[in-house]
């Protein structure tokens, strides 16, 4: 039994357990997850996606003990750690969990290589799901277009080689989605319109363009 008292990150513990044989329970706050031979197999809060966000958020005491792991799914610990580090931090900046769930479902719908981001007007990614450097590069397209091509830009669609990119502006934020050109401009726009409606539902609709 390992007990860590203080402000610890679950990620630190998971990295130790990622390649350790055996079955363990990691308890953090009121929640726990089970690991069996390098795979997370159970999370008390539900799906692996929710687990990613929970472990990214948590700071505090952690208890680890050997156990017979429950098996609801199998998700490699090292992948969970990477996703928690690179994808989930946006949520810590106050975005609702429902949006993170909706974003996850859009990612699944649009397939591999999808990048989703919500930028502040200044170009800072408030939420990011995907490659940050790529998202920032896409932001440059919005920035140049809105400053130098057309003031009052509300929606932007970009087709470039094998990739397509779509932006929607709402108030002081900009939602961006990038996907493979195979997805098609129409389906990408529809998926992001849906996501934008979901995200801004509590605060009115996103601004509509012509």
Q: Per residue, what are the HEC states of 87-120?
A: CCHHHHCCCCHHHHHHHHHHHHHHCCCCEEEEEE
| 145 is a site residue for other proteins (CB under 8 A) | yes
Distance (Å, rounded) from C-alpha 85 to C-alpha 94?
16
CB 25, min distance to other proteins, A: 48
Window of 73-81, 107-115, 125-133, 157-165 that interacts with other proteins by CB under 8 A: 157-165
| 134 is a site residue for other proteins (CB under 8 A) | no
| 158 is a site residue for other proteins (CB under 8 A) | yes
Burial of 206 (0-12, 13-18, 19+ CB in 10 A): buried
| 149 is a site residue for other proteins (CB under 8 A) | yes
Burial of 18 (0-12, 13-18, 19+ CB in 10 A): middle
Size of site (CB under 8 A) for other proteins:
25
Closest to other proteins by CB, 83 or 169: 169
Residue 42's closest CA among 81, 72, 79, 78? 72
CB 145, min distance to other proteins, A: 6
| 205 is a site residue for other proteins (CB under 8 A) | no
Q: Are 197 and 208 contacting, i.e. CB atoms less than 8 angstroms apart?
A: no
CB 149, min distance to other proteins, A: 5
**Site of interaction with other proteins (CB under 8 A):** 137, 140-141, 144-145, 148-163, 207-210
């Amino acid at each position: 039994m390992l007990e860590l008292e203080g402000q610890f990150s679950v990620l630190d513990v998971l990295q130790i357990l990622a390649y350790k044989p055996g079955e363990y329970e990691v308890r953090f706050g009121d929640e726990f997850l089970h690991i069996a031979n390098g795979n997370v197999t159970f999370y008390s809060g539900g799906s692996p996606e929710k687990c990613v966000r929970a472990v990214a958020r948590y700071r505090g005491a952690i208890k680890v003990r050997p156990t017979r792991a429950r098996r609801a799914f199998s998700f490699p610990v090292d992948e969970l750690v990477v996703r928690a580090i690179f994808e989930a931090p946006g949520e810590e900046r106050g975005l609702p969990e429902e949006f993170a769930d909706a974003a996850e479902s859009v990612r699944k719908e649009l397939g591999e290589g999808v990048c989703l981001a919500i930028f502040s007007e200044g170009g800072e990614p408030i939420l990011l799901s995907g490659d940050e450097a790529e998202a920032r590069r896409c932001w440059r397209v919005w920035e140049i277009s809105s400053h130098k091509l057309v003031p009052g830009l509300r929606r932007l669609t970009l087709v470039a080689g094998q990739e397509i990119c779509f932006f929607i502006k709402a108030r002081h934020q900009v939602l961006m989605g990038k996907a493979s050109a195979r997805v098609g401009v129409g389906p990408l726009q529809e998926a992001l319109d849906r996501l934008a409606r979901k995200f801004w539902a509590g605060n009115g609709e996103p601004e509509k363009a012509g």
